[in-house]
Amino acid sequence: MNTFFRVWTTGCGEGIVAREATAVELSYVASEMLDRAAYLASVSAYLHHAIAGDVVGWNAIDADPPRVEGWRDPRQSDEWDRLVTATIDVNPLIDSYFQAPNDVAPRRMSDCVSDRELRSSRLYRELFGPMGANYQLSIIVGKLTASAGKAWAINRSGRDFTDNDLDTARRLQPMLALLDRAYQPHPVVQGAVGRDEARCRAGLTLREVDMLELLSRGLSAQQIASLRRIALGTVRKHLQNLYEKLDSHDRVLAVNKARTLGLL
């Protein structure tokens, strides 16, 4: 993480200046992540500096019935999820996505409602005002329906997000969506020790188990190559070895066999 801050931030005193963010740069950060907790913490730190947000959070929102599951920046109040849930029905940004679920482009709160309208609303009185989040930018990272979706929300108190910030969000969105898919939570069926014993019995390397985990989450060979920053041919070689060791000729059989053996 220290390397990340040296690469991405410059300046001193009152402010920090972020270099131009790209999906390729984000993939360098992603290649070092080991689990969902690392994914959430690392991407939050990345977005803080790539788009210069004050507070960053990940949200899974369902409007029917109203429910929010979130990962919060440590500086955010424990009340955040409850307040977001209570104001889903009066949030213009959320409503704009639910009204057009095929349009998942990043957008700002100010793209949906004027500052004057926002500050006179129940949303501002109950959520944005108390939390000091006067401006917000949202980046959808999962499948969007007419009542549910997943997104990163970046908040600011002092100034609105610029068109350049919006362009940065657009560049990062594909990789953010891929990361969210790769690190989605899975139910744990046995402890790490049991899985490691299963790996040894199957004769799999740690890299092959990593490939297996990503396969189980539905990622293609090309997506795995992008996520792990290795050549597509290298991924295919790992998969070939994996299939041979599990006596399976395709990903579905390999994943099913891995679950039977306690590898996932």
The length of the chain in residues reads: 264
Q: How far is CA 206 from CA 29, 58, 67, 210, 241, in A?
A: 20, 29, 37, 6, 12
Q: What pLDDT score was predicted for residue 122? A: 95
Are residues 202 and 228 located together in one domain of the fold? Answer: yes
Could you say which of 135, 163, 182 is where a domain stops? 182
Q: Exposed (0-12), middle (13-18) or buried (19+): which is 2, by Cβ within 10 Å?
A: exposed
Q: What pLDDT score was predicted for residue 77? A: 61
- Taking Cα atoms as reference points, which of 220, 216, 228 lies closest to residue 264? 216
Three-state DSSP class for 149? strand
Are residues 203 and 171 located together in one domain of the fold? Answer: no
Asked whether residue 187 is domain-assigned, the answer is no
Q: What pLDDT score was predicted for residue 182? A: 85
Are residues 178 and 197 located together in one domain of the fold? Answer: no
Q: What pLDDT score was predicted for residue 15? A: 38
Are residues 175 and 217 located together in one domain of the fold? Answer: no
Are residues 131 and 7 located together in one domain of the fold? Answer: yes
pLDDT 10s digits, 184-231: 876 554 555 677 888 888 899 988 988 888 888 888 898 888 878 789
Residue with tokens 């490939």: 211
Can you give the C-alpha Rg of the chain in angstroms?
20
Are residues 197 and 176 located together in one domain of the fold? Answer: no
Q: What pLDDT score was predicted for residue 75? A: 61
CA separation for the pair 42, 29 (Å, rounded)? 7
User: Whole domain around residue 62: which residue ranges?
Assistant: 2-182
Are residues 175 and 203 located together in one domain of the fold? Answer: no
What is the domain count for the chain? 2
- Structure tokens given for 203: 């004769």
Are residues 151 and 210 located together in one domain of the fold? Answer: no
Q: Do 1 and 42 meet the contact criterion of CB atoms below 8 Å apart?
A: yes
Give the contacts of 178 (CB within 8 A, at least 6 positions apart). 219, 223, 226, 227
Q: Do 16 and 60 meet the contact criterion of CB atoms below 8 Å apart?
A: no
CATH number of residue 251's parent domain: 1.10.10.10
Are residues 233 and 125 located together in one domain of the fold? Answer: no
CATH number of residue 102's parent domain: 3.30.450.80
Q: What is the pLDDT along the chain (264 residues), one digit of tens a residue?
A: 333 333 333 333 333 334 456 666 777 666 665 678 778 888 888 898 889 888 899 999 998 888 888 887 666 666 778 888 999 999 999 999 999 999 999 999 999 999 999 999 999 999 999 888 899 999 999 889 999 999 999 999 999 999 999 999 999 999 999 888 888 876 554 555 677 888 888 899 988 988 888 888 888 898 888 878 789 999 999 999 999 999 998 888 888 888 888 887
Asked whether residue 138 is domain-assigned, the answer is yes
Are residues 114 and 240 located together in one domain of the fold? Answer: no
Q: What is the DSSP letter of 246?
A: T
Could you say which of 182, 204, 234 is where a domain stops? 182
Are residues 234 and 124 located together in one domain of the fold? Answer: no
3-state percent breakdown (helix, strand, coil) of the chain, nearest 5: 55, 15, 35
Output the pTM of the full model: 0.75
Could you say which of 148, 182, 216 is where a domain stops? 182
